[in-house]
Amino acid sequence: MIRISAQEGSAVFAVKVVPRASRNEIAGIQGDAIRVRLTAPPVEGAANRALVKVLATTLKVPERDIEILAGHAGRQKMVRVAGLSPHELDARLREHLSSE
């Protein structure tokens, strides 16, 4: 089960990134984080940009509403989604994971 916290009208959660994967996808839950596979390499922010795009598409929010708070240079990241409550974020993630 992922841990989602509320922060100033936003939802914050952990992400585990797997760069250089065969495709971009949310690959499930790993520990208390969402596991996201990305085709982009972890070079010059390419994986971070790809992560924002994948999350925006999955959560149906604009890319500008997604911010990487911590872990810019690592595989473990903390991400904030503006305008979504933790409950809304959890519901959208569950909907996506159950449709796979």
Tell me the pLDDT tens digit for each residue of 53-88: 999 999 999 999 999 999 999 999 999 999 999 999
Inform me whether the pLDDT recorded for 100 exceeds 70. no
> What tokens appear for 2 in the block?
């992922």
Cα–Cα distances in angstroms (integers) from residue 33 to residues 43, 44, 70, 93, in the given order: 22, 24, 14, 12
CA neighbor of 45 nearest in space, from 19, 65, 25, 27: 19
- The answer to whether residues 75 and 18 touch, using CB atoms and an 8 Å cutoff, is yes
Task: List the structure tokens of 87.
Answer: 């409950």
For the entire predicted model, the pTM comes to 0.92
CATH number for the domain whose boundaries are 4-98: 3.30.1200.10
